[in-house]
Homo-oligomer: A and B are copies of this chain.
Amino acid sequence: MAVIAMLGYGVVGSGVAELILKNKNKFKNRLNEELVISNILVRDMDKYKDNKNKALLTNNIEDIFKKKVDIVVEAMGGLNPSYEYVKRALEMKKHVVTSNKDLIAEYGTELLELANKNGVSIHFEASVGGGIPILKSMNECLVGNEIKSIRSILNGTTNFILSKMNHDNMSYEDALKLAQKLGFAEANPESDVMGYDAARKLSILSTIAYNKKVYWKDINIEGITDIDINDFKYAKMRGCSIKLLGVSQKDADNIYASVRPVMVKENSVLGKIEDEYNAILVEGDAVGDVLFTGKGAGMFPTASSVFADIADIVIHKEEEAITFNEEEAKINKKWNTDGKWLIRIKTDDRIKVIENITANFTSSYILSNAISMDKDEVVAFINADSETIIDDCIYNLKKDGYVKSSKKLLIFEK
């Protein structure tokens, strides 16, 4: 028998409770193990007056810890009080399963070490990519590979907004409002649209992939709030759409890591990932490119991964599933290899800006006035040896008063 205590009974928590119930017989028959939920911690008992699991609910954390429990499932989200509760569970030698990327991105190293010290494990498959089995695949199935790069779509909210802007020609503001209306975006969408959510997930992926700590705040993070309809129009000229990509890759001894909007070919694998789907393209030195896609969030996709973690503990009894190396990676925030870019510079002096662009970059295709959407703007597709060269060029133009505003978008052509 495996006794499971649950912290949180929201979307993820109730999905997990249902999957446990649904798989009870399968586990009993095939594996001779019984799964039992001891208690479920909720904040507001009144909210669940008519719930079928009412008898299991408590709003007192002590009820959770005073019972004999094997596994604690944390599905509350956020850092407070989940950090404290998870630490306490590990110290009491309970295995922990969590879907909480904030927690792992912030305290992963500490919590994994604590679990290890106490001879238990902490699993967090659902924290990245929802139902997609990416962490276990990377940790176990690709163990013979040196991971060279990750290109990923890790946030469903922004992918929904960008999909709407691309296909339905909606403005960012309208697409965000629609996402909020449909429940795909929160009232305060900051964590999603600013790229923080994707950065936390990319940091977890990258820490496993490169066996060095990639802390999420060290990643270059750009959100999608500056993306406008014209960006999509320019992208279409190159057969591209725009996706918020989590990208990391080996860059000599360093690791380049960023969350940023990128122009990707519409008919590429990542270009085809729409709405709430997530995708992770992993490049290993032996395996080549492997792509994983599926629903990145939602009740049952997330519960599917939480349940797999529970099963891992019950069946496979692994005590240390994933390890985080404490050694910190040196992180490059700039794309310092050859790249294609779209740059847009608002200016009162097109000639001066164009002069500088053609002088600075290996090649440049400058849109004529007639094609450009805004007469005060120089729009160019360029090839540059590094992002630094672009930033320097714009910095110098700005210093000399030629730039009212500017933006740049990396282009991935495969």
Contacts and interface: CB of A to CB of B under 8 A. Distances in A.
A288 B293 CA distance: 11
A143 B308 contact: yes
A356 interface: no
Interface in A255-304: 267, 269, 272, 284-295, 298, 300-301, 303-304
30 contacts: A19-B144, A30-B211, A133-B141, A133-B290, A136-B137, A137-B137, A140-B308, A140-B312, A141-B308, A142-B308, A143-B307, A143-B308, A144-B304, A144-B307, A144-B308, A267-B267, A269-B293, A285-B300, A286-B307, A287-B295, A287-B300, A287-B305, A288-B295, A288-B300, A289-B295, A290-B292, A290-B293, A290-B294, A291-B292, A316-B318
A336 interface: no
A377 to B, nearest CB: 32
A18 to B, nearest CB: 9
A405 interface: no
Contacts of A125: 141
A23 interface: yes
Residue of A136, A141, A316 with highest tally of chain B CB at under 10 A: A141
Contacts of A323: 30
A153 to B, nearest CB: 13
Given A143-B307, A316-B318, 16 more contacts: A19-B144, A22-B144, A132-B290, A133-B141, A136-B136, A137-B137, A140-B312, A141-B304, A144-B308, A267-B272, A272-B272, A287-B300, A288-B294, A288-B301, A290-B293, A291-B293
Interface in A9-64: 15, 19, 22-23, 30
A311 interface: yes
Contacts of A195: none
B137 A133 contact: yes
Contacts of A362: none
A131 interface: yes
Interface residues of A, number: 46
Contacts of A22: 144
B131 A288 contact: yes
Nearest to A305: B141
A269 B316 CA distance: 33
Contacts of A368: none
Contacts of A291: 291-294
Contacts of A300: 285-288
A225 interface: no
A356 to B, nearest CB: 40
Interface in A141-175: 141-145
Contacts of A289: 294-295
A294 to B, nearest CB: 4
A291 B292 CA distance: 6
Most B CB atoms within 10 A — which of A30, A143, A211, A291? A143
A361 B284 CA distance: 49
Interface string A302-327: 01110110011000101000010000
A301 B272 contact: no
A33 B131 CA distance: 32
Contacts of A141: 125, 133, 136-137, 304-305, 308
